[in-house]
A = this chain, B = another copy of it.
Amino acid sequence: MTPSGIPSVDTPALLIDLDIVRRNLQQMQKNADNFGVALRPHIKTHKIPELAHLQMRLGAAGITVAKVSEAEVMAQGGLKDIFIANQVVSENKLNRLADLKKKVDISVGLDSPVAAEKLSAIFAASGLTMEYLIEINSGLNRCGVLPGRDAVELYRAIHALPALRFKGIFTHAGQVYGAGSLAEVMEISRHESKIMFETAEALEEAGTLVQIISIGSTPTMKVWQGYEGINEIRPGNYIFHDAIQLSLGVATLEECALSIVASVISRPARERAVIDGGSKAFSSDRGAHGKEMSSGFGIVLGKKATLVRLSEEHGIISLDPDEHLEIGDRVRIIPNHACAAVNLFDRAYGISNGEIVEEFNIAARGKSQ
């Protein structure tokens, strides 16, 4: 531990403050418990089975992943209840999904008859049944059918396919990352719940039981006031938070658990320092789903300094000319987007009270296919 409170690991390195992690996880779990809903955290943020297990021990009902390869890593790591909040269509991936189904409780999203037929065919051929949730587009305009009638139509088109079992509906109101104010975050959060409740009602009127009504993103869950019918939430980023969450007003600096420690390698001018981490450490994310940060590529802790520009292996810091930051000095920086930064590292250092206490293999990093 150096005097400045930065562990003496070589740089750039990814640090996870485990004390903050624990508080973040407990807080979200408490919210879920208070509203009587299941918490199924999205692990794409951390990609570390040990942290998924910590989420489970603190009360999570299962985990959410973005792709089959993440599910494989998590199943390999001992996680037993996994929801793939995405569409899976390639034959290779559907076969791997069938293999997973033999080992763990797993469910998947669907938003089209075409994908449903592919899934049904492969599972029927293996003598397996797959549980699915219909993906609802609550305004992100990515995947998903429109709420209400379109969801009912999709259900009617696919519910009789062999080897599939309808379990519920899910959405992700990711457009919240473009919100201009906390009031707008709250409005999107309310809307997300409302259209899901109404869609579930429409499906039940059409004669089916909707077991799971699942929503969630970190911003919409941080301001959530509960809503009739909703019984599962799936935030991911809340384990770490990041500069984007700060900019939305849904987290504080004290809740940011992930940081990158970097070293100053050049100080070519009084107003400029260069560190040994660039876009291959921080990612180029300046925001998410439309919003751009005005604060640069991360928050430099404890210094009058802004990370204004990245090239691949360099970060250019604009400095108050009186700021003391010399070659060899180390800085800790909260990245804009924790999920993107984690994916660029192979390992992370868990710290507690400023000391490294654990080293994590980011087991689900990459895993493109």
Tell which of A186-194, A219-227, A245-253, A264-272 binds the partner: A264-272
| Bound Cα distance from A88 to B145, whole angstroms | 52
Interface pair B340/A368, CB less than 8 Å apart: no
Chain B residues within 8 Å of A288, by CB: 311
Cβ–Cβ contact B369 & A12, under 8 A: yes
Whether A10 contacts B266 in the complex (CB less than 8 A), given A114-B327, A313-B66, comes out as no
Beyond A344-B366, A346-B366, whether A265 also contacts B143 by CB under 8 A is yes
- Copies of this chain, complex-wide, total 2
Interface contact A284-B281, CB-CB below 8 Å: no
Instruction: Check A103 for interface membership: any CB of B closer than 8 A.
Output: no
On chain B, the residues within 8 Å of A286 by CB distance are 284
Known contacts A115-B265, A268-B111: does B328 contact A89 (CB below 8 Å)?
yes
Known: A311-B174, A346-B366. A340 touches B284 (CB 8 A): yes
> Which residues in B have their C-beta under 8 angstroms from that of A313?
44, 66-67, 86
Nearest CB in chain B to that of A110: its residue: B266
In the complex formed, the residue of B with least CB distance to A288 is B311
Q: For the complex, give the distance between the alpha carbons of A170 and B55 in Å.
A: 50
Please tell me if the beta carbons of A311 and B345 are within 8 angstroms of each other in the complex: no
- Residues of chain B within 8 A (CB-CB) of A264 are 89
Contact count band on A: 35 or more
Tell me which of B141, B284, B345 contacts A283 (CB under 8 A). Answer: B284
CB-nearest residue of chain B to A236: B312
Q: Are A44 and B114 in contact (CB under 8 A)?
A: no
Q: Given contacts A66-B312, A344-B366, is CB(A263)–CB(B89) below 8 Å?
A: yes
Q: Which residues 294-346 of A sit at the B interface, judged by CB distance below 8 A?
A: 309, 311-314, 316, 326-328, 339-340, 343-346
- The smallest beta-carbon distance between A219 and chain B, in angstroms, is 14
Please report the C-alpha to C-alpha distance between residue A181 and residue B231 in the assembled complex, in whole angstroms. 55
With A12-B368, A281-B368, A289-B311 already in contact, the answer to whether A88 and B174 are too (CB < 8 A) is no
Contact of A266 among B12, B13, B143, B265 (CB under 8 A): B143
Contact (Cβ within 8 A) B87 A266: yes
Q: Quick check: A87 and B265 within 8 Å, CB to CB?
A: yes
User: How far is B66's CA from A57's CA once the two chains are assembled, in angstroms?
Assistant: 42
A208 at the interface (CB under 8 A from B): no
A144 & B328 in contact (Cβ 8 Å cutoff): no
- Please determine whether B366 and A90 come into contact, CB atoms closer than 8 angstroms: no
Known interface pairs A13-B368, A311-B142, A340-B284; A268-B137 also in contact (CB < 8 Å): yes
A26 within 8 Å of B (CB atoms): no
| Interface members, chain A 222-267 (any B CB < 8 Å) | 263-267
**A99 CB to nearest chain B CB (Å):** 14
Q: Which residues of B contact A141 (CB under 8 A)?
A: 268, 272, 316
What CA separation (Å) do A258 and B97 show in the bound complex? 29
In A124-145, the 8 Å CB interface with B consists of 137, 141-145
Interface status of A50 (Cβ within 8 A of chain B): no
Excluding A112-B267, A115-B327, 6 further A-B contacts by CB distance (< 8 Å) are A14-B368, A44-B312, A87-B274, A114-B326, A143-B265, A280-B340
* 4 shortest interchain CB distances as A-B pairs: A87-B265, A143-B266, A114-B327, A284-B284
